[in-house]
Structure 1
């Protein structure tokens, strides 16, 4: 999710498309939150690991 967010963010900035930039930022933030919660051992959505 973080990689997809970064790709969309870069594409949005390069081609000046604000919706891609917005979606990229949202995916980056959500991915970072899931990564932090998973790394501290807290279950996310009832699962300890997301594959």
Structure 2
């Protein structure tokens, strides 16, 4: 998602299409948030490996 956002950002900037630039920025932000959340979610909860 981060790569797609970067591609849309660059293409939108080069072609002067603000909609693509805006979509690229939004996808970059969403991708960064998802990457951050995915990297912190690997801790056991309450000392257990699985929480049911």
Please report the TM-score for the alignment, with normalisation by the length of structure 2: 0.77
Question: Superposed, which structure 2 residues align to 1:1-20 within 5 Å?
Answer: 1-20=1-20
Q: Unaligned stretches of 5+ in structure 1?
A: 43-51
For the pair shown, which has the larger CA radius of gyration, 1 or 2? 2
Q: CA RMSD in A?
A: 1.0
Please report the TM-score for the alignment, with normalisation by the length of structure 1: 0.79
Q: How many residues align?
A: 42
Q: Runs in 1 of length 4+ with deviation above 4 angstroms? A: none
Q: Unaligned stretches of 5+ in structure 2?
A: 43-52
